[in-house]
A = this chain, B = another copy of it.
């Protein structure tokens, strides 16, 4: 990810490096506050404003993807991976990634049938565990 930033001519400061690292290592979809907390665990002089500015910057150059899963807070993940959509376990709040080529194709077909060219989409599945032994957790 750092390499990517250099290619784009972004000045890599200490703060940005830390924030980049936090998201590189994240296996979940942290919101801004969580990124801030994790960044501060590494360097506690990073302000919330800088986190907001940096996340936005990274999003603009397509290093990160921003999501909104309906709780009113932006959540981030790195964008360099294969495209996928999200299933949100409404019991635990956990987010699971999935891919489905067939749905993607149908989406493009629907758009075309309506006279449009698909340029993006948002698909989120809200679901509950089948075997109801859900463990409560933040994600």
Contact = CB atoms under 8 A, between A and B. Distances in A.
State the copy count for this chain. 2
A131 B114 CA distance: 11
Contacts of A106: 100, 102-103, 106
B123 A117 contact: no
A115 B131 contact: yes
Given A87-B111, A103-B106, A107-B103, A120 B126 contact: yes
Interface majority SS on A: helix, strand, loop or mixed? strand
A41 interface: no
B130 A112 contact: yes
Nearest to A100: B110
Nearest to A112: B130
A106 B100 CA distance: 9
Given A103-B107, A124-B122, A116 B129 contact: yes
A119 B128 contact: yes
Contacts of A107: 103, 123, 125
